[in-house]
Amino acid sequence: MKKFGLLIFIFALSIGLAFSTSCGLSSFKNFGGIQGSGTSKTETRNLDDFTKIDASGAVNVEVAVGNGFAVEVQADDNLLANIKTEVSGDTLKIYSEDRISSKTRINVKISMPAIEGLEISGASNANVAGVKADSLELTASGASKIKIDGQAKNLEANASGASSIDAEKLTTEDANVEASGASNATVSAINDLDLNASGASKISYVGEPKNIKQDSSGAST
Give the domain-ending residue among 114, 137, 171. Answer: 114
Neighbouring C-beta atoms of residue 42, cutoff 10 Å: 12
What total of structural domains would you count in the chain? 2
Residue 2 located in a structural domain? no
Q: Which residues of the chain have pLDDT under 70?
A: 1-32, 218-221
Q: What is the pLDDT of residue 22?
A: 38
Q: Which residues contact 49 (CB under 8 A, 6 or more apart)?
A: 69, 87, 90
The kind and range of the H/E element at 192 are: strand 184-197
Q: What is the pLDDT of residue 143?
A: 98
Q: Which residues contact 168 (CB under 8 A, 6 or more apart)?
A: 186, 187, 188, 206
Residue 7 located in a structural domain? no
Residue 171 located in a structural domain? yes
Using an 8 Å Cβ cutoff, are 198 and 220 in contact?
yes
Termini Cα distance of the chain: 13
Residue 16 located in a structural domain? no
Q: Please check whether residues 95 and 172 belong to one and the same domain.
A: no
Q: Please check whether residues 134 and 207 belong to one and the same domain.
A: yes
- Report how far residue 170's alpha carbon sits from residue 138's, in angstroms, rounded to the nearest whole number: 12
Q: Please check whether residues 142 and 67 belong to one and the same domain.
A: no
Pairing of strands 83-88, 91-96: antiparallel
Q: Please check whether residues 133 and 221 belong to one and the same domain.
A: yes
Residue 4 located in a structural domain? no
Residue 21 located in a structural domain? no
Q: Please check whether residues 92 and 173 belong to one and the same domain.
A: no
Give the domain-ending residue among 86, 114, 142. Answer: 114
Q: Please check whether residues 77 and 153 belong to one and the same domain.
A: no
Q: Please check whether residues 76 and 134 belong to one and the same domain.
A: no
Q: What is the CATH number of the domain that holds 83?
A: 2.160.20.120
- Dihedral, CA of residue 23, residue 25, residue 29 and residue 32, to nearest 10: 170
Q: What is the pLDDT of residue 1?
A: 52
Domain that holds residue 47: 27-114
Residue 22 located in a structural domain? no
Residue 31 located in a structural domain? yes
Q: Please check whether residues 110 and 135 belong to one and the same domain.
A: no
Q: Please check whether residues 219 and 148 belong to one and the same domain.
A: yes
Give the domain-ending residue among 114, 146, 178. Answer: 114
